């Protein structure tokens, strides 16, 4: 699969867009990257089933860099709830390893695409309806946060996203303000990405028909271009996030997720 100038431009634009969304919505950009990388890679000769897995793994790898840039911008505004990061991170690491090392390697790419579409649609619906949590509902204690982190990490490992599509609705459901939820989700993207990338690299060893310059399921050229561009726009997204009203921010989040879920549903159904 030649790494031509047009491909570099496509990946650069994807990196700029995903970086902005990472800062704006706390989703690590993965919800945007997975469908587009799937489209780009499958259009250049990689089998559809393998293309989905490579897109998920490469998307997650870029989140390591995007989350650092995004969380610095949110931290400067005092929006990150570091106490929640501390409570959720251990479970996230455990769940991520189970997802990326075990289940991910076994499932076909088409089923991962369908799973991606279903969970993203569910998360978008919760956000779009803007259901109000009970006034007395709070974040759970240490055991509850460990369990919640495990679920977030596991699901992230299967769909190649930074966890914002689960952690942001979960935290807002527990009466964490949306801007704090977005910022905290951005901080959680780093341990999610680190643990999952390790799993993808190990589980992808020995897989046949991977394109040149692949490290397990991770395609290094795409990682380099997307990561370099995404870190430029993540701080801009974080700046915009603190200026938008809560309801508009939720609706933007939901609308983008619906579009991406529809594409991955199509890919899953046509490659089963």
Residue 215 β-bridge partners: 218
What are the domain boundaries of the chain?
A: 5-271
Distance of CA 30 to the CA centre of its chain: 3
- Enter the tokens of residue 70: 């995004």
Got the DSSP string for 212-239?
TTEETTEEHHHHHHHHHHHHHHHHHHHH
Residue-wise pLDDT tens digits, 190-243: 888 888 898 888 888 888 888 888 899 998 988 999 888 887 887 788 778 777
Residue ranges in the chain modelled with pLDDT below 70: 1-3, 22, 25-31, 130-136, 160, 162-163, 165, 246, 271-272
CA distance 96 to 198: 10
Contact status, residue 49 vs residue 105, Cβ threshold 8 Å: no
pTM of the model: 0.75
């Amino acid at each position: 699969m030649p790494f031509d100038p047009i491909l570099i431009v496509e990946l650069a634009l994807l990196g700029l867009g995903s970086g902005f969304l990472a800062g704006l919505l706390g989703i690590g950009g993965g919800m945007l990257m997975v469908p587009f990388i799937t489209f780009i890679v499958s259009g250049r000769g990689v089998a559809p089933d393998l293309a989905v897995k490579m897109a998920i793994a490469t998307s997650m790898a870029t989140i390591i860099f995007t989350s650092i840039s995004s969380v610095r911008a949110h931290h400067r505004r005092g929006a990150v709830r570091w106490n929640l990061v501390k409570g959720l991170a251990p479970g996230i690491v455990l769940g991520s390893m189970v997802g990326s090392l075990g289940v991910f390697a076994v499932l076909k790419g088409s089923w991962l695409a369908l799973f991606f579409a279903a969970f993203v649609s569910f998360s978008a619906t919760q956000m779009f309806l803007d259901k109000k949590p009970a006034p007395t509902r709070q974040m759970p204690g240490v055991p509850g946060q460990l369990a919640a982190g495990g679920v977030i990490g596991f699901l992230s490992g299967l769909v190649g996203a930074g966890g914002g599509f689960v952690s942001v609705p979960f935290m807002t459901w527990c009466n964490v303000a949306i801007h704090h939820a977005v910022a905290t989700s951005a901080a959680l993207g780093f341990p999610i990405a680190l643990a999952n990338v390790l799993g993808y690299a190990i589980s992808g060893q020995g897989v046949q028909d991977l394109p040149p310059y692949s490290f397990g399921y991770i395609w290094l050229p795409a990682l380099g271009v997307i990561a370099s561009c995404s870190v430029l726009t993540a701080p801009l997204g974080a700046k915009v996030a603190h200026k938008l009203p809560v309801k508009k921010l939720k609706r933007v989040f939901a609308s983008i997720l619906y579009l991406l879920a529809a594409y991955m549903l199509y890919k899953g159904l046509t490659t089963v």
